[in-house]
């Protein structure tokens, strides 16, 4: 059953405007057709003044009135269009009553109602069609020897059947629309669930950064690009200093707060083309791309200072610091040497006082320390 669904085209006023434009086209076609037919009559002038001119005048008056009403009553455009078609049919039947086939034009309002996809419009057009047919019979009935009671019954029955079929068609259309909408909603929900699951599989639940597995997958792809192209690549390992002592003193819940804030600072400080991950426990890893070594060092130093400036009120204004090891990738180096160099630099930062950045020139070789 049709209850309430959107009108055709999603904009009733725009659709009504299109319908009215079509009516003007039908007006032109009707006038041209009558003018052509006029020359087949024994007395063309009598046909012109007796049928063509009155029909054209009344149609023109009706179309002009519809234009005015549509501009004044935007929300009633659907009823105006259905009424206008009923008027068009009525004028045609009244002036061309001698042509039997003209009676079929009373079905036109029903066809117009289909475009608005509402049962109320179908009922309204059905009532208008019956009223137009009855009015035509009252006006011209005595001049229609072929209009026997059985003809009246056939036309009325046909209008009823047509209205029922149109209503059934719209009901089926509503069901299809509802099924399509439910299918689309189900697909959207599934897509959202898949996206969420994919995110959960790739990110750390506590910090929101990428997890250990995703970090290595991304690093493998970037190393391949660095080997085949000119992509600059640096990896930094960051470790929160004395984090075990923090957990033992303030509890694991407080430790989680520190982890979240450090992770947020790392994420905010990293560039749009960089990749930050929680590597494990209190250790984080950041992959930097499309930056020089000096740019990466400056960015990491700012990151370290921002972390050091945070006072954690939940931990009696405790200040967390991080030690950082940095290593640049060289062609042919491979992931193990790249990661090993960053790990050596991190160990050197821890060993020499913590809260500092150490740059590894080569694994097992010289270290460049930043205070």
355's CB contacts (< 8 A; 6+ apart) are 241, 304, 308, 321, 322, 323
Return the pLDDT at 326: 95
Higher pLDDT, 2 or 144: 144
- For residue 174, the enclosing domain spans 8-183
DSSP codes, 126-170: HHHHHHHHHHHHHHHGGG-TT--HHHHHHHHHHHHHHHHHHHHHH
Is 70 exceeded by the pLDDT of residue 60? yes
Are both 94 and 166 inside the same structural domain? yes
Give a yes or no: residue 2 inside a domain. no
Give the residue carrying structure tokens 């037919």: 37
Q: For residue 7, name the pLDDT band (cuts at 50, 70, 90).
A: very low
Q: Which of 177, 185, 227, 282 is catalytic?
A: 282
Average pLDDT over residues 196-208: 74
Average pLDDT over residues 161-173: 75
Is 90 exceeded by the pLDDT of residue 357? yes
At 290, which CATH number? 3.30.70.270
Last residue of a domain, one of 167, 183, 199: 183
Last residue of a domain, one of 183, 204, 230: 183
Return the pLDDT at 196: 56
Are both 239 and 285 inside the same structural domain? yes
Please tell me the total count of domains within the chain: 2
Are both 28 and 92 inside the same structural domain? yes
Give a yes or no: residue 217 inside a domain. yes
Return the pLDDT at 317: 80
Give the residue carrying structure tokens 């929101």: 208
Give a yes or no: residue 198 inside a domain. no
Coil/strand/helix, residue 118: coil
Give a yes or no: residue 201 inside a domain. no
> 161-165, 209-213, 334-338, 352-356: which range is least confident on average?
161-165
Return the pLDDT at 147: 62
Average pLDDT over residues 174-181: 79
Are both 135 and 237 inside the same structural domain? no
Return the pLDDT at 4: 41
Are both 274 and 339 inside the same structural domain? yes
Question: Is residue 331 packed enough to be buried (19+ CB in 10 Å), middle (13-18) or exposed (0-12)?
Answer: exposed
Q: For residue 198, name the pLDDT band (cuts at 50, 70, 90).
A: low
Give a yes or no: residue 18 inside a domain. yes
Q: Which one-letter DSSP state was computed for residue 7?
A: P
Return the pLDDT at 253: 86
Residue 16's closest CA among 83, 77, 68?
A: 77
Are both 295 and 154 inside the same structural domain? no
Q: For residue 33, name the pLDDT band (cuts at 50, 70, 90).
A: confident
Higher pLDDT, 112 or 100: 112
Are both 41 and 162 inside the same structural domain? yes
Q: Is 282 among the catalytic positions?
A: yes
Contact 137, 84 (CB under 8 A): no
Are both 175 and 220 inside the same structural domain? no
Q: For residue 350, name the pLDDT band (cuts at 50, 70, 90).
A: very high
Give a yes or no: residue 80 inside a domain. yes
Return the pLDDT at 194: 64
Are both 233 and 146 inside the same structural domain? no
Q: For residue 6, name the pLDDT band (cuts at 50, 70, 90).
A: very low
Return the pLDDT at 367: 57
Return the pLDDT at 1: 38
Are both 87 and 231 inside the same structural domain? no
Most confident of 70-79, 89-98, 199-208, 256-265: 256-265
Return the pLDDT at 298: 93
pLDDT tens sequence across 315-328: 778 888 999 999 99
Are both 39 and 143 inside the same structural domain? yes
Give a yes or no: residue 200 inside a domain. no
Give a yes or no: residue 207 inside a domain. no
Q: For residue 150, name the pLDDT band (cuts at 50, 70, 90).
A: low
Are both 44 and 132 inside the same structural domain? yes
Average pLDDT over residues 242-264: 86
């Amino acid at each position: 059953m049709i209850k309430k669904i959107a009108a055709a085209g999603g904009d009733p006023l725009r659709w009504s405007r299109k319908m009215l434009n079509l009516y003007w086209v039908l007006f032109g076609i009707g006038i041209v057709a009558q003018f052509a037919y006029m020359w087949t009559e024994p007395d063309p002038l009598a046909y012109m003044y007796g049928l063509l001119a009155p029909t054209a005048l009344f149609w023109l008056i009706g179309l002009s009135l519809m234009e005015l009403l549509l501009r004044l009553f935007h929300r009633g455009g659907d009823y105006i269009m259905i009424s206008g078609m009923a008027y068009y049919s009525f004028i045609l039947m009244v002036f061309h009553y001698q042509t039997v086939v003209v009676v079929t034009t009373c079905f036109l309002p029903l066809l117009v109602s289909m475009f608005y996809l509402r049962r109320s419009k179908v009922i309204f057009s059905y009532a208008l069609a019956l009223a137009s047919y009855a009015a035509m019979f009252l006006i011209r009935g005595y001049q229609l020897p072929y209009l026997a009671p059985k003809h009246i019954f056939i036309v009325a029955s046909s209008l009823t059947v047509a209205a029922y079929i149109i209503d059934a068609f719209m009901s089926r259309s509503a069901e299809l629309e509802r099924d399509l909408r439910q299918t689309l909603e189900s697909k959207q929900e599934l897509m959202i669930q898949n996206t969420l699951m994919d995110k959960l599989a790739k990110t750390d639940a506590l910090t929101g950064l990428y997890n250990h597995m995703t970090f290595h997958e991304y690093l493998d792809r970037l190393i391949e690009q660095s080997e085949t192209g000119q992509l600059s690549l640096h990896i930094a390992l960051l470790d929160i200093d004395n984090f075990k002592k923090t957990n033992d003193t303030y509890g694991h819940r407080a430790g989680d707060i520190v982890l979240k804030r450090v992770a947020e600072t790392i994420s905010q400080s990293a560039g749009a083309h960089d990749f930050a991950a929680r590597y494990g426990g209190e250790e984080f890893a950041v992959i930097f791309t499309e930056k020089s070594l000096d740019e990466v060092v400056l960015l990491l130093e700012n990151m370290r200072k921002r972390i050091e400036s945070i006072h954690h009120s939940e931990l009696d204004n405790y200040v967390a610091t991080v030690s950082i090891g940095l290593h640049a990738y060289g062609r042919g180096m491979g992931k193990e040497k790249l990661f090993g160099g960053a790990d050596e630099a991190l160990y050197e930062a821890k060993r020499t006082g913590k809260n500092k950045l150490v740059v590894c020139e080569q694994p097992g070789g010289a270290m460049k320390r930043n205070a």
